[in-house]
Each structure stands twice: as structure tokens, then as C-alpha cells.
Amino acid sequence: MFELNSKMNDERIEDLGENHVATSAENPVRPDAFDISNEEKIAKIEESVKDILYTLGMDLTDDSMQGTPKRVAKAFVNEMFMGLDPKNKPKASTFDNNYNYGEMLVEKNIVVYSTCEHHLLPIIGRAHVAYISDGKVIGLSKMNRIVEYFAKRPQVQERLTMQIVQAMQEALGTDDVACVIDAKHLCVNSRGIKDIESSTVTAEFGGKFNEKETKREFLDYLKMDTKF
């Protein structure tokens, strides 16, 4: 019975990963995740990467490979997954809407570099974020930084889309925020089905963006071809 239950659990876990299913709207981070320093994390990950490469049969004494474990460890902690650390959350400074701009503001084509939490392969795409001011406005670059912060962690695209909207709503003090992400998942493009053409589109609409006309206006803005 134990073997049967274990096999069923393994199959369930595999299905979750293959179907890119998230189990929570929050990233599954342990409470003790930041009890050790980044330097300690890098050292531990370096040793783990050495074990992986050695197990794969790589010669770690080769000049090309000697620095790879540390390079990977530093990239994981300082770049690819820096968004896991709350200390890196950008300060979303807002300002009074003194010029009384009352239409929606749309920031298009924000580059998304993230990592699929099921296979640790890249997610690459574009985010389009919009809001309607309720008395506050936010710096344009802050919108990019919010996207980057939540993207730089093991992620699921649906969760990422929701987190961006929630962070913008919190910063602006309004529900009137929307986000659409169109991205390619290399876990689909380079393995498994190996479909290099498909992309995944997710959307989260808050407040007025749930109204048909407002939603349509936002989506129409995304169709505009911006060239300089």
C-alpha cells in the first residue's frame, strides 16, 4: 500500500509540473529562507552544482569548467532568484496626481526574464501593465522594477501576473490595475512537447478593468505598433 501511495504521489507531482500548475498565489518559500547570508548560500549551491556536474560525468578540472559551479551559484543568488529576498523589493514611490490625468496609463512591452519553478528553465516574454489613477501616480521605471522583482524567482506565470497587479494596487491605493503577460516557456519549447512556436498569455484585471469597455480599451492599446 505504501509503494502504491508513493507511486500515486510521484505521478501527481509530475502532473503538476508538466501542466504548470501552481499550488499557491504566494511563492513557496520556507520561513527560515533568510537565516543564512547570501555568501553562505552561494557556497552551499556551489558544492551542489559541483555534485550535479560530476554526476553527469563532467571533468571539473578542465579550465572551462573550473569556475562554473561558483558562476552558477552567484547567478542563482544575486540575479536569477534575487526576487525571493524581500530586501530586494523595490520602493514603489508614488506622487500626487497634481496634473489630474484621468485616463489609464499603460506601460507596454516590459521585458520578462523569469524561471519556471517546475524545470528551472527560462520564461521569456513581455508584460503590459496599466492603471487608472485614484489620486496617486507611480514612476514609470518603478513599474518595470516591480515586474523584475516578482519575475526573478522560481515562478509560475499565472502567479507572476497576479503578484504584479497586487503590488501595484498596494502601491497606488486603488484596485484599478491590470496586467497581461505573453511569454515563451523553454520547458515547453526546448523539452517535452518541444513546441518552439507557442507562447502563454495570462491576464489579471482589477477594479474598473473588469468593465467591458475599460478592458477593451486596454487591450486595444496593446495592439498599437510603437516604433521610433
Instruction: Name all domains of the chain by residue range, CATH numbers in brackets.
Output: 36-80 (1.10.286.10), 92-223 (3.30.1130.10)
Residue 20 known to be catalytic: no
Q: Per residue of the chain (228 residues), what is the pLDDT tens digit?
A: 456 565 556 656 566 556 656 566 889 999 999 999 999 999 999 999 999 999 999 999 999 999 999 999 999 999 999 999 999 999 988 999 999 899 999 999 999 999 999 999 999 999 999 999 999 999 999 999 999 999 999 999 999 999 999 999 999 999 999 999 999 999 888 888 888 888 999 999 999 999 999 999 999 999 998 776
Question: Counting Cβ atoms within 10 Å, is residue 158 exposed (0-12), middle (13-18) or buried (19+)?
Answer: middle
From 119, 155, 163, 179, the catalytic residue? 119
Q: How many residues does the chain have?
A: 228
From 148, 179, 185, 204, the catalytic residue? 185
From 20, 46, 107, 116, the catalytic residue? 116
Residue 116 known to be catalytic: yes
Residue 179 known to be catalytic: no
Residue 155 known to be catalytic: no
The pTM (predicted TM-score) of the whole model is: 0.87
